[in-house]
Every structure is written in structure tokens, then in C-alpha cells.
Structure 1
Amino acid sequence: MLTSPFSHGASAALLVASLGMPAFAEAPDGGVYLRVFGGVSSLEDGDLSGAISGETGFDTGQVFGAALGYDYAGSPFRSELEYAYRTGDADGAAGISGDLASTTLALNGYYDFTPIAGGRLVPYIGAGLAYVTEIDFDVSGGSAPGEYSETGIFGYQLMVGADYALSDRWSIHGELRYFDAGDPSLRGPGGTLTADYQTIDVLVGASYRF
């Protein structure tokens, strides 16, 4: 079963970022930054086929992650290498229950719009190519319970959000994200289980510019 290394770290970083920040000054032009984030992840209802068949829904889950990014000086573009963990529980429809989770590495590109609100608020859009290091479905109900998993799947994600500068180094952000890994075939004790994997994530996070 996949577990998240970020559930406590992300919360602590957000608390640190929101306390004791110095007066705002213009952010450095370009350079490296570190970002952590967390939020809710909603897996879209989908069809299962193969070892287990039927349509199932998922309760609202969680997402946590971190990214190392580079802001290109004199340009509205920046890029990130990101790690993320998502999880959600099947809602028991058609007798199917269990946790469906994934870990991903993604290469993201962002476009920052002109700052507003005195230069503090920067809206942005982005897109990323993701490599799913593992998808794991721990099925505890239905006709073929067990752990079904797969590795090495590609997906993509689309992002829209805004950064708010707390100081010249620290910022916080809110983001809406769509993630799509297609319909991977997961292998387990009952054979092959094919499951749709698309999520809508609502994120908050903090960034530090070096």
C-alpha cells in the first residue's frame, strides 16, 4: 500500500511560511525555488473491467507533493520537477471497496501573467508530463480482493492558479489541477484489472526562492 511522506511536512511548511514573514520586497528575478503543496484529490467515477467488473465512485481523497523549480530571468516562463502522491477510497458501489493510490514524477511548465495587487499576486497557468512510478489499488471487496498495481505509466496534468508573495523569498499559492493517467491495466491476484484514473485536485502550498 502506498503511503505519503508529505502529509506532515507540507502542513509544517505552510505554517512556517505564514508566520514571521518580513516586509514585502520585489522578488529576485529568476533563480531556483522549492515548493511544497497539499490538498484534496477527487477521483472521477469510472468503469472497472477484467478481474473485477462494474462502475465505482470514489470518496474525496488527498494529494501531497513537492517540486524543485527554476524561474527564468526576464521571462514569464518557469519549469519544475515534481513528485506527488494521491490517494482515494472506493465508495463501495457494486460491492467494490479499497484504496486507489499513485505516485508520480512530473516535468511541469508554467506561464506567469502580469502581477496584480501591488505586485504581490501572480496568476498562472501550466501543463505537465507525468511518469507514474506506481498505481496501487488495494481491493478489499468484490469478487477478487487483493493488491493490484502497475508501474511505468505516462500521464499529463493541467494547472491554473495564483501565487501570493509574503516577502521577497516566501510565497503561498492556490491551484486547481486536472490529472489524467488514462485507463491503466493493474496486475494482481485475480489477474488484470483495468481502471480509469483521472483526478481533479484543489491545492494550497508554499514556495521559497533561493
Structure 2
Amino acid sequence: MNIEYIKENYIFETLNQHHDLNDFECESQDLTDFLKNDALNQQNMNLNLTQLVICDEIIVGYVSILTDSMKLKILEDEETKKEICNELNISENNELPAIKIGRFAIDKKYAKKGLGSHILANVLLSMLKLSKTKIGFRVIIVEAYAIALDFYIKNNFYTRESDKEILKKIDMIKKQDPTRCFNIYLDLKDIKEEPKN
């Protein structure tokens, strides 16, 4: 399938027991195994919700979402941090409500062609809408694998100040421990309200 065609025609569907997951395989065995072996069980236990990205009945990717929180002091934007502290009369040690992208993967047949960024932009837009209509939260967080960190940074996520030094060695980390996790985040105010083309 052509990537531009997929971008124009994919839909999100909540994972259920009727979906055939056998043909899905991404570059990370861990992410493939999660979808095939754990996602539905965790969803049934209300631990997360997995949305499949489907085009013409083919699963091209998925995103698994859950709730979380993040300490206010982690925000990079000092002005926003100060504003929240002053408006709510709280300290930087208070938690901000968050939505967490627990897993995000594209089938390897369609990976590294811009589809992931397109889908992520639409996921972020749906989260922004959710924050305005259904549930209050301020940040979107991800525990990103070292090998996926560039992807999220390219899509406007921030790394934590405490990781700045270690991230200078990210190329070495990718080779030695590609699944090492880094906590990153995106403030809702930084989401552009138009999806990527």
C-alpha cells in the first residue's frame, strides 16, 4: 500500500478479540509481542486502551494509551511552571495530570516513511480535543526507547533536564541498549491544531 494512500484512508479502531493480529510486525519485538500477547488483557483490566490504526482492513500500527501524572518541576518552560504554581498556589513538587502513550508502533512494512509522525499528530489532536471536552490533563508523556527518542523529539516532545548529560551519549546508548527508556513529555499548549500532511 502507498503511504500517501494510507495517510488519507486510515481509521482508528479499539482493539477487540475479533481483530486478527497475526500479520502485524514492527521493528521492536517487544512492541509486537505487547500487541499480540498483552494489550487486550491489559485493556480488559482497564489498565490501558489500545487503538489499532487500520487501512483497508490491514493493521498498519497501534497506540496504547493510559493515564499518569508528572511532577510540575519537570516542565522545561519556566514561565508556564511559574504561572501554574502562582495561579493554583502550589509548589513545583505537585503533580500535573497526564495522559501517557504507553506503546506506539508502526508495522515495519510502513515504517520510516512519515506515517508514524502523521498518525502521532492525529493522536495528539484527539488528546487535545479530549482535554477540552471530556477530561482534564496538562501533559502527554512517553517512556521512549532510546532508538525512538529522535522520532519523538522531531515531533516536539521535550526530554527531561535531568537527562541532558546522558543524552549527549545517545548514539552509544542506542547501540548498547536500544530499549533503554527515557521519560519525555509534551505540554498541551505546544500541540498544533492542524494534522500533518
TM-score (norm 1): 0.28
Structure with bigger RCO (C-alpha 8 Å, 6+ apart): 1
Larger Rg: 1
Q: Which has a greater percent of strand? A: 1
